[in-house]
Amino acid sequence: MSEISQRIRSRREELGLSQEELAKRMGYKSRSSINKIELGENDIPQSKIEAFAKALSTTPAYLMGWINDPSIRKISEIFPYHPTHRIPILGRISAGKPLFAEENIEGYTYTELNSGGTYYALRVAGDSMNAARINEGDLLIVRQQDEVENGQIAIVMVNGNDATVKKYYRNGDTVTLLPQSLNPEHQMQVYDLRKSQIKILGLVVQNVIKL
Residues with a known catalytic role: 128, 166
HEC profile of the chain: CCHHHHHHHHHHHHHCCCHHHHHHHHCCCCHHHHHHHHCCCCCCCHHHHHHHHHHCCCCHHHHCCCCCCCCCCCHHHCCCCCCCEEEEEECCCCCCCCCCCHHHEEEEEEECCCCCCCEEEEECCCCCCHHHCCCCCCEEEEECCCCCCCCCEEEEEECCCCEEEEEEEEECCEEEEECCCCCCCCCCEEEECCCCCEEEEEEEEEEECCC
Phi, psi angles (nearest 5°) of residue 35: -60, -45
